[in-house]
Structure 1
């Protein structure tokens, strides 16, 4: 099976006047359809830079990035915008909701850019809000919602265009422990429905929800391993396969 994401020798260098910052130093990464991957690393490890490249928010200095077999590393801004709108849904730590818009309007916004009629936008937004447990909060504004509810709105907005890939950047960073667990359960459900989920986090307990953990350090891959805890829990025959 071809990887939905195939990165080869990817680098990113920022020119800071007389200094060059090498944020990524030759990353190789393949992610299959319906995988659930956590990108981990300390501050300055390159994980946020890598997420920006995966999400087509930035372009690499060198290397190749194939998304569904198409080379996006050389696309122009318009092509990258189309990719973001059609294939990728984003969830951010700070929610990025419009304060004067209702929950329904916030979630429906990406569909405006997709050219859907108002009635279809509202219907689809209402359906996806219901799927994350906010079907009774359609007319509420962000300041009328808890942090966990605002993150659910952000997740619904990421899903409304029916993207294949969900990218989540520190999605529980502003939430308490109980709410964080609830949000991670939503991501697990999204993955079970067939989406590829890529989670950026520095929190080990959050990364443990993923099926595979990629650790970065100083712009390089430190380790790339399956999450054996998840594999054992999801495979009832696993204990019989031990030697």
Structure 2
């Protein structure tokens, strides 16, 4: 596909939901963007809150180098960010949203100011997130929960954490009712919930109206990002 902002070509794979095509919907989105070598996605904003998880290649987000092997970025609705600059090796990231965005609003195009609305303007990056090697993850004896983006105000339910679990360990996720919904993104090992097993780079969305998710680590353990959206009345 070609970027609406620059016309440069990159690749998009949808996992949950579909492109907004100018229409906002109460449906979650999860998709992978794989940028071309040295591509630039120019500054813009969206009408909905979103997380981005950088998983391959290298590059920068605004003035911040999103250092690997894993980096998490959050931005509020109607909050400008960027540019996203890919290196010669490209740059790949998941975009996750609790609501479908109608499409990016680019800051270099006329009329963008008229589309701005009040928001908390939160914007943060947690990078340099290391994943466990297979033998270390398989020998883990206790569940670890690491808080990310701790400097952002989470009074409205916003949160990001990394959970590390040894094989067969079981825990319950936090109650989603105080949030705007939750995305779980498996980044290492596998997640078992109900009768389903989710391998690395799978994602599960839990609406605010659902019960908390029960997580069971697969036979090689589990490392999973839990990304919680702010309650919708803040938008």
> Would you tell me which structure has more strand in proportion to its own residues?
2
Q: Normalising by the residue count of structure 2, what TM-score does the alignment of the two structures yield?
A: 0.29
Greater relative contact order, per chain length (Cα 8 Å cut-off, separation 6+): 1
Q: Normalising by the residue count of structure 1, what TM-score does the alignment of the two structures yield?
A: 0.28
Q: Which of these two proteins has the greater Rg computed from alpha carbons?
A: 1
> Would you tell me which structure has more helix in proportion to its own residues?
1
